[in-house]
Amino acid sequence: MRERVTFVHPVGAWADDDELPEVRESGLLGPHLDTAREDRLTIPIDELPTDLKTTFQDFHHVSIRWASPLAYDTVEPFGSRLSPGLHVIYTPSDETQDHTNIIYSLLTTLGLECSLGPESSIRIDTSRSSNLPSFYYYQALEDLQSFIKTATLSFCPKLDSICKARVRGLLNVASLDALFDRQSKTLKVTVFSPLMAQKISVASSTHHRVEVGIFTKGEPAQLRPHDLGISGLLTVLGESETPSPTLFSFPARHRLSAASFSSQFIVPTGLHPTLQLRISSNKPPVEDGECHLYTHLTLPKTFFADRYQLADKLFLASKNLTTLRYSSLPMDLEAPAYTTDTWGSSVLLELAPPKTTSSEAWTAEVPLHLRYLAPSASGYVEVGLPYPVLFWACSADNAIDFANNPFDRVHLGYDTLFDPNTVFWHATPSPVVGSRLMNQIHVPVLKGETASWVGSGTALAVALGFAWVLWKIMAAYSKDGHGGSLRTQNSKKKTQ
Q: For the segment 328-350, what is each residue's pLDDT rounded down to a tens digit?
A: 987 788 888 888 889 999 999 99
* pLDDT the model gives residue 156: 83
3-state class (DSSP) for residue 235: strand
Burial category of 397 from C-beta neighbours within 10 Å (exposed 0-12, middle 13-18, buried 19 and up): exposed
* pLDDT the model gives residue 491: 52
CA distance 97 to 159: 40
Contact 356, 308 (CB under 8 A): no
Please check the confidence at residue 129 and state whether its pLDDT lies above 60.
no
Contact 301, 337 (CB under 8 A): yes
Average pLDDT of the segment spanning 362-380: 91
Q: How far apart are the first and last CA of the chain?
A: 109
Please check the confidence at residue 363 and state whether its pLDDT lies above 50.
yes
3-state class (DSSP) for residue 109: helix
Average pLDDT of the segment spanning 83-103: 86
Q: Distance between alpha carbon 383 and the CA centroid of its chain, in Å?
A: 17
Nearest to 211 by CA among 473, 477, 27, 404: 27
CA distance 99 to 19: 52
Average pLDDT of the segment spanning 213-220: 92
Give 358's pLDDT tier (boundaries 50, 70, 90). Answer: confident
Instruction: Please give the mean pLDDT across all residues of the chain.
Output: 88
Average pLDDT of the segment spanning 151-178: 88
CA distance 385 to 98: 30
CA angle 1, 253, 208 (to 5 degrees): 10
In 369-447, which residue ranges form alpha helices assigned H by DSSP?
A: none
For 259, 362, 391, the CA distances from 283, given in Å and listed in that order, are: 9, 11, 12
Give 13's pLDDT tier (boundaries 50, 70, 90). Answer: confident
Q: How many residues does the chain have?
A: 496
Q: What is the largest CA-CA distance in the chain?
A: 129
CA distance 435 to 268: 23
Average pLDDT of the segment spanning 206-235: 91
Contact 216, 13 (CB under 8 A): yes
Please check the confidence at residue 360 and state whether its pLDDT lies above 70.
yes
Residue 70, number of CB atoms within 10 A of its CB: 17
Q: Tell me the pLDDT tens digit for each residue of 258-305.
A: 999 999 999 998 889 999 999 999 999 988 779 999 999 999 999 999
Average pLDDT of the segment spanning 402-417: 92
* pLDDT the model gives residue 468: 83
Lowest mean pLDDT, pick from 29-33, 44-48, 67-71, 376-380: 376-380
Contact 102, 135 (CB under 8 A): no
Q: Tell me the pLDDT tens digit for each residue of 281-291.
A: 999 998 877 99
DSSP letter (8 states) at residue 337: G
Give 456's pLDDT tier (boundaries 50, 70, 90). Answer: low
Strand pairing partners for 254? 424
Give 486's pLDDT tier (boundaries 50, 70, 90). Answer: very low
Burial category of 29 from C-beta neighbours within 10 Å (exposed 0-12, middle 13-18, buried 19 and up): middle
Q: Say if residue 330 is preceded by a cis peptide, omega within 30 of 0.
A: yes
For 99, 182, 310, 314, 324, the CA distances from 317, given in Å and listed in that order, are: 42, 44, 10, 5, 12
Percent of the chain past pLDDT 70, that is, above it, reads 91
Q: Cα-atom radius of gyration of the chain, to the nearest Å? A: 29
Please check the confidence at residue 489 and state whether its pLDDT lies above 70.
no
Burial category of 166 from C-beta neighbours within 10 Å (exposed 0-12, middle 13-18, buried 19 and up): middle
* pLDDT the model gives residue 99: 83
> What contacts 221, CB < 8 A, 6 or more positions away?
none
Residue 123, number of CB atoms within 10 A of its CB: 12
* pLDDT the model gives residue 18: 59
CA distance 425 to 447: 46
* pLDDT the model gives residue 490: 52
Helix axis angle for 145-154 and 161-168, nearest 10°, is: 170
* pLDDT the model gives residue 457: 65
> What contacts 310, CB < 8 A, 6 or more positions away?
316, 321, 323, 324, 327, 349, 367
Average pLDDT of the segment spanning 123-149: 82
Q: List the beta strands (DSSP E) in 225-267.
A: 227-236, 244-251, 254-265
Segment 141-144 long-range contacts (CB within 8 Å, at least 24 positions apart): 141/66, 141/85, 141/86, 141/112, 142/69, 143/68, 143/171, 144/66, 144/170, 144/171, 144/173, 144/176
